[in-house]
Amino acid sequence: MHSQRSSHSFPETEVPADKANLLLLRAARQRAAGRPAGQTGPPDYGRLAEAFRRHTALDEAGLGPELARLRNAIHRAPPRPPTLWGRAMAALGGLLSPVLWRLMRALGVPNPFDAVYEALLRDSERQLAAEERIHQELEAIRARLEELEAAHRNGRPVH
Amino acid sequence: MKPPAVLQFAPQLCRHDAVGNEVFALRTMLGLLRIECHVCCDHTDVSSDWRIHSRRRAARFRADTSLIHYSHGSASYREVFSRPGHKTLVYHNITPPEYFRGANRSMEEASRRGRLELPEYAFRTDLALAHSTFSARELAAAGFRNVAVLPYVLWEPLYRLAPDLSVARRFSSDGWVNLLTVGRVAPHKRLEDCLFVFDYFKRFVRAKSRFFIVGHWDGNEAYLARLQRLVAKLGTPDVHFTGRVPQETLNAFFEIAGAFLCLSEHEGFCVPLVEAMRYGVPVFAYASTAVPETLRGSGVLFAEKSWPVIAEAIGLVLEDAALRRQLAGEERRAAEYYSAGAALERLRRCLEQRVFGADAGRERLPAVALEVV
């Protein structure tokens, strides 16, 4: 049954953002502008957000997601088929998983994935920090070269 | 004449999951309309007394229509859509795969596959239901011809559960402000932005404040690890990742919350927003995708993510009792649109006009009066 009734035009139900709460937002902006800046001000959230995205993107090339998943593997039994066998496995998993978890905690056995994953995260962060340092040094060299060129063109001595 | 019957299918049915909850809500409502309903799936974590059948058994059930819940790619859809009979696709929207890049390869793949295969089912679907006009436009763009908007149906019994008193005992009436966000810990929710807002809020607006991130992180453990490192880097105390919580605990968190924060970049509907609206918790949300539509004019919307401005706006609302009451009132009024009574009437009309309407000999579906919750 294919109805001929076409529903391709949908009413615009979206409320334009900021319209209803314009005054509140204006007051919020004013307050934010009046807060201290610099050392006593907020951290550079923009830079932190950018770094967060770069770190997450780096996970794509590594084993991070898999290790992180394994780290939590015994916390919860996955969904099973709604069959007799599936239900039996779910019941077994439900019984064993907390026992295993408690046993490991009682014995003080550290989750081996924790250490590996932490090392991986530290490595990726170190790599990004090194990239940023190299980038900054290259920028400084470029700026110095431009300065030397300008001085040479003007016939001024360079220090 | 045989009574009307509906079959519902979703590849995965889980407790405390948006798809699972809607399947059970629809089953209850169909029961009220005296429509027989069978539920089938491939995988589930609910117990056998919930009467869930495997996909293989679906062929045994007679159905006037099959409600096929679509939220990601799955091999079983090919088989389900190739069956004869009337088929209704219930579109829960699919988070774009880009958001899972670097976080979860299988989710990225399921999302890509879901979006890629969606147009294939357009010609095998008799009716497509979307939870928002935002999602309806996506369906129309994918080639679906008979598209209707049927907002998400909330499962009422969940909200009648008594809130967990231990949460209130621990976190309320102590002069602290509780900020809340609810939903799975996943990259498209942009919880890092929420953390920046909370960090600013705690530094400059209200030092005595906590931030609860309520939701599971299954499959997104790498994203969780990144968020936890960000919290450590910012040095923000009082951030609580609660993980999966029982409904009683979730209800308690809504009761103690001073403000609800949602900076998600992709939502096909956003159930937690409606939950916050029902509880009258002031909502502060980023106006992306279907978020403004879900809020129906209530809450505070931001067109851009300026973390300090969002934090200051929360502070201003919390300082002003009259403004807080006004926002709560608007939200509760807007939430009535999603009440059980209104949802049941919408479902009845939709089925009568678009599914059973074709069968002229059939009796009209009963009009059921429900108290507006």
How would residue B2 be classed by pLDDT, with cut points 50, 70 and 90?
Answer: confident
CA distance B266 to B125: 25
Inter-chain residue contact A56 with B316, CB threshold 8 Å:
no
| Burial of B336 from C-beta contacts in 10 A (0-12 / 13-18 / 19+) | middle
Chain A residues with CB-CB distance to B300 below 8 A: 21, 24-25
The gap from C-alpha A42 to its chain's centroid, in whole angstroms, comes to: 20
User: Which residues sit opposite B8 in a β-bridge?
Assistant: B39, B67
**pLDDT value, residue A131:** 86
Other C-beta atoms closer than 10 Å to the C-beta of B312 total 27
Unique residue bearing structure tokens 């003080």? A108
Kindly tell me if the per-residue pLDDT of B268 is higher than 90: yes
Encode pLDDT of B310-362 as tens digits: 999 999 999 999 999 999 999 999 999 999 999 999 999 999 888 887 554 56
How would residue A57 be classed by pLDDT, with cut points 50, 70 and 90?
Answer: confident
Chain A residues with CB-CB distance to B145 below 8 A: 2-3, 6
CA distance B263 to A86: 38
Inter-chain residue contact B307 with A65, CB threshold 8 Å:
no
For B368, the token pair is 């059921």
Encode pLDDT of A92-133 as tens digits: 877 777 777 777 667 766 566 667 777 777 787 788 888 889
Kindly tell me if the per-residue pLDDT of B163 is higher than 90: yes
Residue of A nearest to B199 (CA): A42
Encode pLDDT of A135-146 as tens digits: 999 999 999 999
Encode pLDDT of B113-145 as tens digits: 999 999 999 999 999 999 999 999 999 999 999
Phi, psi of B270 (to 5 degrees): 85, 85
Chain A residues with CB-CB distance to B133 below 8 A: 10-14
Q: For chains A and B, what is the number of CB pairs under 8 angstroms?
A: 185
> Who among A10, A16, A79 is closest to B137 (CB)?
A10
Distant-in-sequence, close-in-space partners of B346: CB < 8 Å, separation ≥ 6:
B150, B151
The gap from C-alpha A6 to its chain's centroid, in whole angstroms, comes to: 42
| Burial of B369 from C-beta contacts in 10 A (0-12 / 13-18 / 19+) | exposed
Looking at the complex, does the CB of residue A15 fall below 8 Å from at least one CB of chain B? yes
Unique residue bearing structure tokens 């934090």? B311
CA distance B271 to chain A (A): 17
Phi, psi of B70 (to 5 degrees): -120, 115
> Who among A21, A35, A58 is closest to B301 (CB)?
A21
Distant-in-sequence, close-in-space partners of A25: CB < 8 Å, separation ≥ 6:
A18, B300, B302, B309, B313
SS3 call for B252: helix
CB B81 within 8 A of CB B125: yes
ipTM of this predicted structure? 0.84
What's the CA dihedral at B313, B315, B320, B326 to 10 degrees? Answer: 50
> Who among B48, B146, B204 is closest to A87 (CB)?
B48
The sign one gets for the Cα dihedral B143, B144, B149, B154 is negative
pTM of the model: 0.85
Q: Which of B150, B360, B358, B151 is nearest to A4 (CA)?
A: B358
CB B364 within 8 A of CB B349: no
Which amino acid is located at B365 in the chain?
L
CA distance A152 to chain B (A): 45
Unique residue bearing structure tokens 């007394």? B49
Kindly tell me if the per-residue pLDDT of B240 is higher than 90: yes
> Who among B53, B204, B309 is closest to A29 (CB)?
B309
Q: Which of B280, B302, B271, B295 is nearest to B183 (CA)?
A: B271
